[in-house]
Chains A and B, each alone.
Chain A
Amino acid sequence: MSAPDPKMTESELPHAYAARDPHVLLRVISKFLIPLIAIFGFYVHFHGEYSAGGGFQAGVILAASVILYALIFGLDEAKRAFPPWLIRVGMSLGVLLYGGTGVVSFLKGGEFLNYSVLNENAISGQHYGIIAIELGVLCAVTSVMIAIFYAFGSRQPETSDEDW
C-alpha cells in the first residue's frame, strides 16, 4: 500500500486512509490480543488443578482465539493456520484419549476410569489420569468448536463492507 498523495488537504487525509483499510485498528489490536488469548487458554488448562478452569474452558478459549483470527483475517487464512485435517484428527483424538485412559485403567486391573491403578502410588495415578483426560477434553473441545465455526463460516460468501 502506498502513502496517500502528499498534496491532499488535511480534511481529505482521513478519508484516504479509511479507503485503504477500514479495519486497520481491528487488525492491529487483534494481532496483539490473539497470542495473549491463546496463552491464557493454555494457562487455564495447565493451571486447572489449582484454580478455576480446566480442559473445557481452555478448549473454548483456544477456539475463540482461532475464531477471532478467522473473523479479522478471513476464513482462508485461519484454515492455513489451523487446517481442517487437524480438526478431524483432534476431535477424534480427544475422545480416544479420554476413553483410552479408561481402557488402560481397566487393563491394569481397576474399574473403567479408576485412575488410582495407573501408578503404584494411587495419588500420582489420580494425577496422571486427570492430566490425560483433561488433555483429551482440550483436544475435543477446541477442535469441535473450530469445526462448527468453519462449517457455518464456509457456507456464506465473504461479508461485504456494507454489512458492518
Chain B
Amino acid sequence: MTLFAAAEPVFAVPVLLLDISLMALLVVVAFAIVRMRSLFAVVMLQGVYSLVCAAWFVSLDAVDVAFTEAAVGAGVSTVLMLSAMLLADRKSTPVPMNRQLGAFIVVCLAGAAMLWAVGDMPAFGDANSPANSYVGTDYLAKTAEEVQIPNVVTAVLGSYRGYDTFGEVVVIFAAGLGVLLLLGLNGNAGRWVARPNGQVVNDRSAPSAAYAKDNRSEDKKKSGEAET
C-alpha cells in the first residue's frame, strides 16, 4: 500500500499552491463574514466557506469528509440558517468596540495556544503519526480479509467502530426529537386540544390563553378550531 511505502511526506508544488490558495480563500471569506451586516449575505458566505472547505478536504484526500461537508455544511445547514434568519432579523446591529475586547483577548489566547501546539503535530502524511499507527494500521491491514469491502472508511465506520456510529445515529435522532418537541413538525408546538368529560379545551380556551397572541388564520379563528 502506498501509505506504508512513503516514509517521507511528498509535496507536489501545484497541490501545495492549491492548498495555500484555498486556505487564503477561507481566511478572506471568514473576514467577509465578520465584517458583513446583512444576515442573508452572511448565511450565503457560510455556505461558500463550507464549499471551499470541502474543496480543500478533497485536495487533502479526505473524500468522505469533503462529501459530508459539501452536503451538510454547504447544502442543508445553509437552508436551516436561512429559515432561522427569516424567523429572527435580516440585519445584525453593530456591537460597540469596548464590548468586543473580552472576546478579542480570548481569541488571541486560543490562537496563540494553537500556534504553540503546531510544533508538536506530526508532519502531514507522516506514516508514523499516532493517527496512522496502532489501530489505524490494524484496520487498514485487516479490512481486506475480515470485512472484504473495498472502501475501508465504510468498514471502519460500520463494523470496527459500529458503537460510535450507533451513538452518532442516536445523537441525530435526539436532535430531531428535540426540535420536534420545541417547534412541532408543522409549526404547531403549544397548540393542544384536550377533551375532559367530552368538553373541548384547547390552548385558546384555556385560562392561560389570554396571555398568548392568536396567530391563527382568520377562518380558523372563526371556527374555533385548533391548528393541526
A binding-site residues for B, Cβ under 8 Å: 44, 48-54, 56-57, 60-61, 63-64, 67, 71, 79, 84, 87-88, 91-92, 94-95, 98-99, 102, 112-113, 115, 122-123, 126-127, 129-130, 133-134, 136-137, 140-141, 143-145, 147-156, 159, 163
Contact = CB atoms under 8 A, between A and B. Distances in A.
- Interface of B, secondary structure class, is helix
Contacts of A147: 176, 179-180, 185
Interface residues of B, number: 48
B93 interface: no
B159 A129 contact: yes
Task: Identify the 8 closest CB pairs spanning chains A and B, nearest first.
Answer: A154-B187, A144-B176, A113-B162, A151-B183, A152-B83, A52-B63, A60-B71, A130-B158
Contact of B80 (A88, A133, A140, A149): A149
A84 B186 contact: yes
Interface in B164-179: 165-166, 168-170, 172-173, 175-177, 179
B184 A151 contact: yes
B150 A137 contact: no
B179 A123 contact: no
A126 B154 CA distance: 11
A41 to B, nearest CB: 9
A140 B76 contact: no
B53 interface: no
B199 interface: no
B169 A94 contact: yes
Given A122-B146, A141-B169, A151-B183, 16 more contacts: A49-B151, A50-B150, A53-B64, A53-B67, A54-B157, A71-B79, A91-B173, A92-B173, A95-B170, A98-B165, A134-B158, A140-B173, A149-B76, A152-B87, A155-B183, A156-B83
A79 B177 CA distance: 18
Contact of B176 (A52, A127, A148, A156): A148
Given A49-B154, A57-B68, A63-B76, A154 B169 contact: no
A49 B147 CA distance: 11
B163 interface: yes
29 contacts: A51-B151, A52-B66, A54-B154, A57-B67, A60-B75, A64-B71, A67-B76, A71-B79, A79-B186, A91-B177, A102-B162, A115-B162, A123-B147, A126-B147, A127-B149, A130-B154, A130-B158, A133-B166, A134-B158, A141-B169, A141-B172, A144-B172, A144-B173, A150-B185, A152-B83, A152-B183, A156-B83, A156-B86, A163-B86
